[in-house]
Amino acid sequence: MGVDFYACNNCRDTFPDCGHYVSCECGEHWCSDECAEEEGFRREPDGFMYKGQYGEYKHSTSCGFCRQEDFSDTELLDFLIRSHNSSRAEVIDMYKESKENEGE
């Protein structure tokens, strides 16, 4: 079996799955207990009903993401793009423009 690498959801460090790390049953991973706690990770002795894409599951851990208190950058970006009624291309243009102005 090979070694897989995960990216810490909080500090973006990558780490191998053979060492110590923290993971939530929803699929998020963190490099350390500190990083996990920063994103609301906790153990749920009584279980936590997680509403996933394919139904409901009872988990024994939860974090800010599966409790829907926090969201991934991708999700937030999608929302921003939709709520501003702009397209991805427009956002790219805006980003480029801001980059160009940065150097001045």
* Contacting residues toward Zn ion, per CB under 5 A: 8, 10-11, 13, 24, 26, 31, 35, 63, 66
Return the number of the residue (13 or 37) whose C-beta is nearest Zn ion: 13
Return the number of the residue (71 or 95) whose C-beta is nearest Zn ion: 71
Q: What is the DSSP string of 37-92?
A: HHTT-EEEEEEEEEEETTEEEEEEEE-TTTTTSS--HHHHHHHHHHHTT--HHHHH
Quote the least distance from Cβ 88 to Zn ion, whole Å. Answer: 28
Return the number of the residue (15 or 81) whose C-beta is nearest Zn ion: 15
